[in-house]
Amino acid sequence: MPPPPSVTVNLSEIPPGLSLSSAPQPARYRVLVDTSAGLDRVLAIAGSAFTTQLNGREAIQAGVFRDRWRADQLVSDLQAEGLTAWIAEL
């Protein structure tokens, strides 16, 4: 597989106050699963899943991501296994 294309940024085009930083971005998307699925079933797909509380309701957190597409992919994987999964934005 060829390497991804490189991106060239003209630094004079960056608005004042904005910077290019390699600092990690905070997680923004939490993938949750209904607890009726059972933690063991979720762990088989998302190995670091655990139970948590969301708005006073118990749920299983299957993952947390900075990128929406990664969260969407995990939701798709969970739903393909018949689990009820959704994304909560942080």
CATH assignment of the domain containing 49 = 3.30.70.1070
Assigned domain for 49 exists: yes
Q: What percent of the chain has pLDDT over 90?
A: 67
Q: What ranges make up the beta strands (E) of 1-90? A: 29-33, 50-54, 57-65, 85-89
Assigned domain for 18 exists: no
71 torsion bin: left (phi>0), alpha (psi -120 to 50), beta (else)? alpha
How many domains is the chain partitioned into structurally? 1
Place 39 in a pLDDT band, splitting at 50, 70 and 90: very high
Give residue 55's pLDDT: 87
Mean pLDDT of the chain: 84
Give residue 29's pLDDT: 97
Gyration radius of the chain's alpha carbons: 18
Query: Which range has the top average pLDDT, 6-15, 16-25, 52-61, 74-83?
Result: 74-83
Tell me the torsion sign for CA atoms 83, 84, 89, 90: negative
Assigned domain for 53 exists: yes
Assigned domain for 8 exists: no
> pTM of the entire structure?
0.71
